[in-house]
Amino acid sequence: MSRIKVIQEHEAEGRLKEIYDQLTQSRGKLAEVHKIQSLRPESIVKHMDLYMEIMFSKSELSRARREMIAVVVSAANLCEYCQTHHGSALNHYWKDEQKVQQLRNNFKELDLSEEDLALCEYAKQVTLNPGKAESTDVTEILKSKGFSDSAILDATLVVAYFNFVNRMVLSLGVGLEADEGQGYKY
C-alpha cells in the first residue's frame, strides 16, 4: 500500500491521463511504479525514457545480463517489487525459474560464467558499498574479464538506475500489481 497519494487510472485527467493511456497502449498495462509518480506526471515520462535507454538501447551487455544485474541489485536492496518484475523478465531469457530464484537468493551458488559472476559481484558491491568505489577501483574485476569501458558504463548505469527505483519503491510503499506475472510489452 502506497504511503503517498496516488492518482489511479480512472481518476486521471489532462496530461496524466495522456501519459497513462500512452503507457497502457505501449506496454499493455500500467505499472504501480509509474502510478506512484502520478503527482508529477512528467517524471513518469522521464523515468520511462531513462529506463528504455538503460535497459533496451544498443549495448555490449545483452538484455539478459542487464536484467540479471537488475535482479542482483534489487535482491541486495531487498526490493521484492523489482526482483519480481525483473526476475520475470530475466526468466524470459534464462527459461529456468529455479535459476532465477537462486540468483535472487545467492548468485554465488549458481553455475555462472566468470563474466556473469563478475557482473553480479560488481552490482552487489556498488549497491552495498558505494563509498568503497572512491578508494578502490571496483571496475578492475570487470576489466580483468574483458569488459570494455563502454560495457562497464552500461553495467554501472543499470546498477545506479535500479538503486534509484528500489529506493523509490521501498520508501513510498509500491506494491506488486494484482496481475503480476503477465508481463509487459516493449
**CB atoms near residue 13 (< 10 Å):** 8
The CATH number of 63-171 is 1.20.1290.10
How many Cβ atoms are within 10 Å of 167's Cβ, its own excluded? 12
User: What type of residue sits at position 169?
Assistant: V
Placement of cell 503517498 in the chain: 4
Whole-structure pTM over 0.85, yes or no?
yes
Looking up cell 531469457 gives 93
Per-residue pLDDT of the chain (186 residues), as tens digits, is: 899 999 999 999 999 999 999 999 999 999 999 999 999 999 999 999 999 999 999 999 999 999 999 999 999 999 999 999 999 999 999 999 999 999 999 999 999 999 999 999 999 999 999 988 778 899 999 999 999 999 999 999 999 999 999 999 999 999 999 875 555 654
Distance, in Å, from the CA atom of 15 to the CA atom of 77, rounded to the nearest integer, reads 33
- Count Cβ atoms below 10 Å from residue 97 Cβ, excluding itself: 12
Alpha carbons 4 and 66: distance in angstroms, whole number: 30
H/E segment holding residue 68: helix 63-76
CATH 1.20.1290.10 in the chain, residue ranges: 63-171
